[in-house]
Amino acid sequence: MARSVWKGPFVDSYVLKKAEASRESGRNEVIKIWSRRSTILPQFVGLTFGVYNGKKHIPVNVTEDMIGQKFGEYSPTRTYYGHAADKKAKRK
């Protein structure tokens, strides 16, 4: 069953506090979080979170199109390397 709208999106309170502190400090830092279940909110856009995957913190640069998703979706818990072949990476 979907979450009731009146409750608003779920976010662990410590994530909100850390994000706020990082934004106020204006430093370029990775905000380490363990809360994979927290929803990505609009005020997180532009920040970089280190989302724990059970072993290490995966850097996640939050962009607008990620709003409403959970942090855990961007921090997979299993690795598969595959082949490089003709795959490309774009520096943003």
Partner 1 sequence: MTDPNDDTDDTMICVGAIAGAFGVRGEVRLKSFTADPLDIADYAPLTSENGEMSFDVQVVGPIKNGLSVRLSGIETREQAEALRGVRLCVPRTRLPALPDDEFYHADLIGLEVRDTGGTLLGTVKSVPNHGAGDLLEIAPPGTSETVLLPFTRAAVPTVDLAAGRIVADPPEGLL
Residues 11-70 contacting partner 1, CB under 8 A: 27-32, 48, 50, 56, 58-63, 66
Which one of the spans 4-12, 13-21, 82-90 is the region binding partner 1 (CB under 8 A)?
82-90
Question: Rounded to 5 degrees, what are φ and ψ at 59?
Answer: -65, 130
Residues near 11 by beta carbon (within 8 Å), at least 6 away in sequence = 35, 38, 39, 41
Token couple for 43: 């005020």
- Stated as kind and residue range, the H or E segment containing 20 is helix 13-25
Token couple for 78: 């299993």
5 vs 89 by CB, closer to partner 1: 89
81 binding partner 1? (CB under 8 A): yes
Minimum distance from residue 23 beta carbon to partner 1 (Å): 14
Number of other residues whose CB lies within 10 A of the CB of residue 78 = 6
Minimum distance from residue 33 beta carbon to partner 1 (Å): 11
**Site for partner 1, rule CB under 8 A:** 27-32, 48, 50, 56, 58-63, 66, 73-76, 79, 81-92
